[in-house]
Amino acid sequence: MITVPVSVQLLLPSVLFLIGLLGVLIRRNVIFMLMAMEIMLNAAGLVFIIGSSLWKQADGQVMVIFILAMAAAEVAVGLALILQVYQMHKTVDVDQLRELKDEQEQG
């Protein structure tokens, strides 16, 4: 059986985490930011799986189940909040919401 070095295995989660981080920092749409955070959580779960297979223990796999449960709860709460914000302000753009907040503080 061919084994892949751990440094090569950790390359994929690193790239995924970087993509998610750039998505959170660059995107202004709240929905895309939420999706980028999901990519970051999946990258963290992949690191746990790699560690679990390296040390031949099930701890990493158990942590992935917790990460997936937390991600599902995050999506449910996040989408509910986004829907409420959209109903109130008719936008999910972070910059426009920040401008609305500044206007309320000045007025």
pLDDT of amino acid 51: 95
Q: pTM of the full predicted structure?
A: 0.87
Fold of 6-90: Helix Hairpins (1.10.287)
pLDDT at 75 over 70: yes
What residues have CB less than 8 Å from 46, skipping those under 6 apart?
A: 12, 13, 16
User: Per-residue confidence at 99, pLDDT binned at 50, 70, 90?
Assistant: confident
pLDDT for res 107: 66
CA–CA separation, 65 and 71 (whole Å): 10
β-bridge mates for residue 93, sequence order: 29
Residue 50 pLDDT greater than 70, yes or no: yes
pLDDT, averaged across the chain: 92
Inter-helix orientation angle 59-89/94-106, to 10°: 50
Mean pLDDT of 47-52: 96
Q: Which residues are CB-neighbours of 30 under 8 A, at least 6 positions away?
A: 82, 85, 92, 93, 94
